[in-house]
Amino acid sequence: MTHNKDTPEIVPSKLESPINYRIIAIIIAGVIAFQIYLTYIVDDPISIVYGTSTTIPLIVAILSFMTAKKYSGIGVYGKAYIVLGIGFVGFFLGEFTYFIYEEVLGLDPYPSIADVFYYLLYVMIIVYLLLHIRFFTKEIQTRDKLMIGIVSASIIVSYTLISALEIGELNFDFYYGIVFVSIVSVTLGLSVYGFRIFQKGIVGTTWLLLTVGILLFMIGDSWYYYIELFEGYDLRHPVISLWYVGQFFIIYSLFHHRRTL
C-alpha cells in the first residue's frame, strides 16, 4: 500500500503482515546472551551497560522520527511517532545524564535532572497510547476502564505497602518514588489495554509488536522501583535486559511498520 500527499486519511480496519518469529527469537536470545555476559564474564560492566543504554533509545528515537516523516499527514501516524520519538530522546538524555552524575561527577543521580527526562518518556508514551487508542477504538468499555484502574492501583498499593514495611515510614524517598510509580502504573495499565485491543487484530501486528515492547519496558520500570526499595539495583541486574528486550521490540515494530504501509 502506498501513500502520497493526495491520499485521504483512510486506515484499513485490519493490517495483515506476519511477524517474523526468527527475529523475535534472535532478540530474546541476544539479550539473554548479553545478560550472561554481564553476570558471569565481564569484570566491569559500566562502559558496556551505559554505552548500550544510551545507544538503543537513540536508535528508537531516530527511527520514530523517520517513520513520522514518512507518514506525515496520514491518519494518526505522523503525530504519534513524533511523540514517541520525543519520549525516547528524553530517555536517552536521562540515561546520559545519569551516567554523567554517577560516573563522571561522582554524585548521587537520585534525585537529579535525569529524572525529569525519564518522566518525559512516560508522559510521551501515555500520549502515544492514547492517540492510537482514541483513533482505533470508538469507546473504552467500562470493564476495560476497570481493568486499567486495577492494574494501575495494584502497583501503587503494592509499592506503598512494601515501602511502609521496608522503610518503616513514608519519607522523602517514598514520596519521590511514588511520583514515578504512579505514572509508570498508568502507563502500564494503558499498555495492557493496548495489548488487548491490538491482539484482537484491530490494527494489525505492527501496533501489537510496539505495544508489547512498551509493555515489557514498563514492567521493567515497575520492577526497578521495587528493587530500589531494597537498594538491590546494580548494572548486572536482569531488569536491564528487560528494558533492552522492550526497546528491541519497538525497533522491530518500527521496521515492520515501514514495510507494512
Per-residue confidence (pLDDT) for residue 261, from 0 to 100: 57
Q: Say which residue, 201 or 206, is predicted with more confidence.
A: 206
Reported confidence tier of residue 13, pLDDT bands at 50, 70, 90:
very low
Tens digits of residue pLDDT in 19-64: 889 999 999 999 999 999 999 999 999 999 999 999 999 999 999 9
Enumerate the domain spans of the chain: 40-260
Tens digits of residue pLDDT in 75-131: 777 899 999 999 999 999 999 999 999 999 999 887 889 999 999 999 999 999 999
Reported confidence tier of residue 185, pLDDT bands at 50, 70, 90:
very high
CB 96 within 8 A of CB 54: yes
Least confident interval from 1-5, 103-107, 193-197, 246-250: 1-5
CB 152 within 8 A of CB 186: yes
Q: Which residues contact 48 (CB under 8 A, 6 or more apart)?
A: 38, 42
Of 72, 79, 113, 73, residue with least CA distance to 95: 113
Whole-angstrom distance, CA of residue 216 vs CA of residue 243:
7
Whole-angstrom distance, CA of residue 101 vs CA of residue 176:
18
Least confident interval from 11-25, 31-45, 226-240: 11-25
Residue type, 102: E
Which position has the grid cell 530500589? Answer: 228
Per-residue confidence (pLDDT) for residue 260, from 0 to 100: 61
Tens digits of residue pLDDT in 140-179: 889 999 999 999 999 999 999 988 887 777 777 788 889 9
Q: List the grid coordinates of 242.
A: 528487560
Per-residue confidence (pLDDT) for residue 17, from 0 to 100: 62
Q: What average pLDDT score do residues 171-188 get?
A: 89
Whole-angstrom distance, CA of residue 88 vs CA of residue 94:
9
Helix axis angle, 114-136 to 172-199, nearest 10°? 30
Per-residue confidence (pLDDT) for residue 38, from 0 to 100: 94
**The pLDDT of residue 5 is above 80:** no
Per-residue confidence (pLDDT) for residue 23, from 0 to 100: 95
**The pLDDT of residue 4 is above 50:** no
**The pLDDT of residue 3 is above 50:** no
Whole-angstrom distance, CA of residue 259 vs CA of residue 5:
18
- The pTM of the full predicted model, rounded to 2 decimals, is 0.87
Q: What average pLDDT score do residues 205-215 get?
A: 87
Reported confidence tier of residue 200, pLDDT bands at 50, 70, 90:
low
